[in-house]
Structures are given as C-alpha cells and as structure tokens.
Structure 1
C-alpha cells in the first residue's frame, strides 16, 4: 500500500468518525426534549435478556440464569435522614413577633386612601377594622375590604353586620399570615339596637393556628352592650388556640362590659402601654387589643388619626412557639 493510499484511508476514517459523532450529538439532543423515561428512538426497542456468567466449581465461567429487566423499575427515592421530621417541627415552633392594629375607620369618610396610608405607616401583621362598608352607596359603592387588602398587600376577610340592599356594613380582618378559615357569630340584639357580630379568623402563625377575633359592641344601650360582651366571653371560654381579641368596645376597662372579657384575656395596655391612652371621640380608652396570657405584649400605643374619630391601637406581641408539632383545628 502506497503512502498516498494510506493517507486517503486515514482521511476517509476521520470523515466516517465525524459523521458518527454528529449523529450521536443530534440523537442526544432529540432525547433531551422528550419527557423523562421516554426513549428518543422512533420505534420501540425489543426486550433484551442478558446472560450473566456464573463461576463454576473449577473457577471457569459458565452460562448463568438469564436476568430480565424489571418491569416498571424506577429510581428509588432516598430515605430522609433520621430525625429530619423533628428538625422541621422545631423550625416551625419558633416564636414569632406579631404587630396587631385595631382601628375604627369611621367608614373611611375622611378618605379611604388616607386610611390605608395610616395603616401602612404602622407596618402591621394583623389589622382589625371596624365600621367598614362594602358596596354601600354612602361610600361610593367601593368594596373597602378588597381595597385595603390590595393596598396593603394582605389577605382580607369581611363580616357583615348590617345589610341594606346591595350595601353591607361590618368589620374586617386583614393579615400578612395565611387566613386558614374565618366566620362570624351574631351577638344578642334588642329593640333599638343595631345588629352586631363577633368576627373570627384562624391564622397560620409560626406553624400553629392563632385565633383572632374582631368586634364592635353596641354604643348606646348599656345593658345590651354588657350582654354582648358576656356572649363574646362565653365563645372565647371554649377556645383552645392562642387568642387575640380587638375592637371598639364602646366601654372603658373598669366597667361591667369589659369585666367578663378581662377575666379571660390580658389587656395589653396596662402591661406595655406608653403615651396618651385615649382612643374614642371623647378621649377615653374604648378601643382594645387583648390576648391569651401566653401571648406576651412588648409594646402598646394609641396613635391618633387625621381622618377618623378613633385612634389606631397598636400592640406588639410575641407569639410563643407551639409545644407540639403544628395541627390545625378549625371551628365548624
């Protein structure tokens, strides 16, 4: 074979290897576009039986039993390391700092954008609103709950107490935490009284459910207001979750109205309040935030509003870690 023939064969071999390599690359790219587990070939491949040589007694190999591929064989999912569940549980059990605001908005007559700004300035995690309109003609037919939820980047729940045509009037709960569930308990009423309710929402806070309540008690009929407060206390008596109650109580702390509630919950103001305490139109403290004894208040203030006749009540709590792994108990 001449040198020219050897060179020609070498060039031909290089070309053939290049074509084979290109085909392999194209085939792999086609396979990458297919779902995992699907063969890139256009036609199904036949089942293959593999003979595995087994050593004989004299050390030589001999044909062994055929091994067939297992049908439906998939990758085994790795077993989680021991104790990972406990680690995740402890992570969820960390205490959480929570800022709660209770605010009677006076139906936002002073300007709903300003009300939203006054709430946003406090950087709250949970907001309890009273005197909220929804689709009511007197406030331009706006869904105030949806407006506040969007403006503040929070979840919202509404509880109507009075329905007039398409218009509704009641309370609202806004939350940065997930609202697991929500509802309303009607409160006692009598002649001359306005329908009132106790709104509630279950919130996912630090891996446990915290139950938040919001209310606006009767303002004119003292006996009815006291009956409503007793009814609220009866509902809270069966509560097993960490609990926060806020709202416009239309009564001061040293009255029979607040007695049944303060027998169960801790008023944040005597523990952590600072500055002027007046919240109502006449300067008395009638707006409250109170909670289960296990929730520690770290600070409380009454911040006057430029658009409402009520002050904004701001309370910082530490919600302690749960003693058990998280479970959700929802009220039916």
Structure 2
C-alpha cells in the first residue's frame, strides 16, 4: 500500500513538473481603457461664416466669443475630470481642444481660455496625471469683435496618456498629419481653409502594443469628410500593431459609405456595438449647454478597433469588454447646470492579448 502511494506521488510530481512550462507561458491579457471626448469649443461658428457683410461678421463674432466665456470651460473641465476619475482611462482622445485669445487690433493678444492646461489641472485635482503624447492643429484664425478689439481661435485635437503608475501604458512613436481633403469656407472677411488632421501614438504595456489614433472629421461637407476617412484608413493600413481609433467622425452607424461604414467594412469593430448592439449610445448633439433634458439623438463619437492586424495575425489581439457613455446624465452637469460638453464621451475597456509565438 505504501509503495503504491509512493509511486502515485512520484507520478503526480512528475506530471506537475511537466506542466509547469506551459502554465508559465500563459500570459493574461492587458486591459487598455480609452476615452474619446469632444470638449466643445464654446460656440457655434457657423453664423460667422454665413455673415453677409463685414459689419455683421464683427457682430456675430462678438456674440460667439461672449458665448465662449459664458460656456465656462473651467467649470466644465471639472465636471469632465470628475467623470473620468470614475473611469480611470489610460488614454484620452480629445477633440475641440480650444485656445481663445483677445487683444487690441494690431496689438498683442492674451490668452483668455486655454482648454488643455485647464483640463490637465482639473484631472490632477481628481488624482489623474496625464501627459500630452500627440497633438494636431485643425484651424487657427482671428477676427475683430469691435472697431478696436479682436479675438483669435485655435482648434486642436490631442492624445493624452496617463502617467505615474508603474506597469501602465507608455507612449512612443507619435505623429501628426493634416488631411489633403479640406474645406474652404468663403466669408465676408475672405476665405478660410479648414485643414483638419489626425494624430497617433503607440502605447505599450508588458509587451503588448497598440496604435492609438485620434481625429475630428469634417462636420459639414460629406464629400470632404468621406475623403478624409479614406485618407486615414489608407494611412493606418501600414501600422505595425492593431489600431484603436478614437474620435468624432461626424458619421452615424447607418452611414455605410461614410467614415463609420468605411472603417467597419474595412476591418474595424465598433466597441459600443460590440457590447450593446447597434442601438442607443447617443453622443451628439446638445444644442444648448443649459437645456434640460439632454437632447442627444445620434451616435457620431466612436471607439473603433482592429481585433488584429489582418496581414499579421501573430500580433496582439484586441477585444472590447466594456463600453460606456459618459456626460449624458443630469448628475454629470456643472454646479451651475451646464452639461460638460455638447457631446457625450465614450469610454471603452479593451482586452489586449499577448503576441502569439
């Protein structure tokens, strides 16, 4: 009896030892939490572009700038930071990261609202440290608001990566580009060209790497928007790692020939649809920041991802495990009753599996 037990124990130990290398090679997936958020530049600029003459253009520019100040981005940034503190994203893809300046005509301008440092400070207050990993400029211009004063506006997109946490995602290989497809708007002050663009960065943690891309596509002209999407899809085809695309694509899920259709038919998965199906998840557009209830009625802000690189099946694999809309509930508003933005944000948790050898 004792001999049989000894033999059985020896077999068990040998079996366990044989199995150990296989267990050691089994690596867990790494979670990457991403967020896309259009911050709202503070006013609708369309009336400026359609002003019939110079005098009306000045009046409309002044009205828009007053609305920017009323829209109170410092308060909205605190509301956004509070939302993000609950979600703890590793990477933020931000659109309409505005910079507003004011000053005398012919003289120096001083900054009145600079979204990026305001948001970074608000995030830090809520225990979140981020660094700017990539940034692109979509538009910059200045117009008079009176006979003696003028304002300037610069529109950025930015990718922020969380810092200060050991073992979390690290950024490298950033790039930024302008689209060749662009809209030129005739105005009473002369034509304005809106180049739009995109930026990208690799994020890596524990041997897994994905390429994170952020963009804000043309909102008005469908042909320009579709051409921009084609450019972007083609540019990302050469990425060495699976791509996660964040952004305001100004394209609904039913837009089969537009940006959403181009990417989902071209190998990308819609994180919201993967978790919840094709309905709901509305992110746009809150017409008035103080209107109640929320009047979001469409989905145009996305986290899209490649499950794997089609030409490189041995690389990392990506799968959505959670998707959430934030900034669409009454409790999300500022103390004065403003919505965090005219868009809701989307947060997705992605499982990134290790490379297969």
TM (normalized to structure 2)?
0.60
* Structure 1 runs, 4 residues or longer, greater than 4 Å off: 134-139
- 1:136-193 CA-to-partner distances (Å, cap 9, x unmatched) read 4597243615742762212223222223478632111111222113121211213226
Q: Name 2:30's counterpart in structure 1.
A: 96
Alignment size in residue pairs: 237
Q: Name 1:328's counterpart in structure 2.
A: none
SS at match of 1:284: coil
The alpha carbon displacement at 1:323 in A equals 3.0
The alpha carbon displacement at 1:261 in A equals 1.2
Q: Name 2:261's counterpart in structure 1.
A: 259
The alpha carbon displacement at 1:202 in A equals 1.3
| In structure 2, distance between residues paired with 1:128 and 1:194 | 20
Is the contact between residue 156 and residue 172 of structure 1 (CA under 8 Å) also seen in structure 2? yes
| In structure 1, distance between residues paired with 2:282 and 2:115 | 30
Q: Name 2:199's counterpart in structure 1.
A: 199
Could you tell me which of 268, 287, 300 is aligned with 2:271? 268
Q: Name 1:132's counterpart in structure 2.
A: 97
The residue correspondences of 1:287-326 to structure 2 (distance < 5 A) are: 287-293=301-307, 294-303=317-326, 304=328, 306-323=339-356
| In structure 1, distance between residues paired with 2:324 and 2:261 | 22
The residue correspondences of 1:22-33 to structure 2 (distance < 5 A) are: none
Matched, 1:186 2:164: no
Is the contact between residue 183 and residue 199 of structure 1 (CA under 8 Å) also seen in structure 2? yes
Give 1 or 2: higher strand fraction. Answer: 2
How large is the Cα RMSD of the aligned pairs?
2.8
| In structure 2, distance between residues paired with 1:171 and 1:181 | 17
Structure 2: any 5+ residue segments left out of the alignment? 1-20, 43-70, 103-109, 143-151, 163-168, 186-192, 286-295, 308-316, 333-338
Structure 1: any 5+ residue segments left out of the alignment? 1-85, 325-332
Change (3 A) 1:139 1:271: farther
The residue correspondences of 1:75-154 to structure 2 (distance < 5 A) are: 94-107=28-41, 109=71, 110=73, 111=75, 112-134=77-99, 136-137=101-102, 140-142=112-114, 144-145=116-117, 147-148=119-120, 151=124, 152-154=128-130
SS at match of 1:238: coil
Matched, 1:161 2:138: yes
Structure with more contact order per residue of length (Cα contacts < 8 Å, sep ≥ 6): 2
Could you tell me which of 263, 280, 284 is aligned with 2:284? 280
| In structure 2, distance between residues paired with 1:229 and 1:147 | 28
The alpha carbon displacement at 1:133 in A equals 2.1
SS at match of 2:114: coil
Q: Name 1:171's counterpart in structure 2.
A: 157
Change (3 A) 1:167 1:284: closer
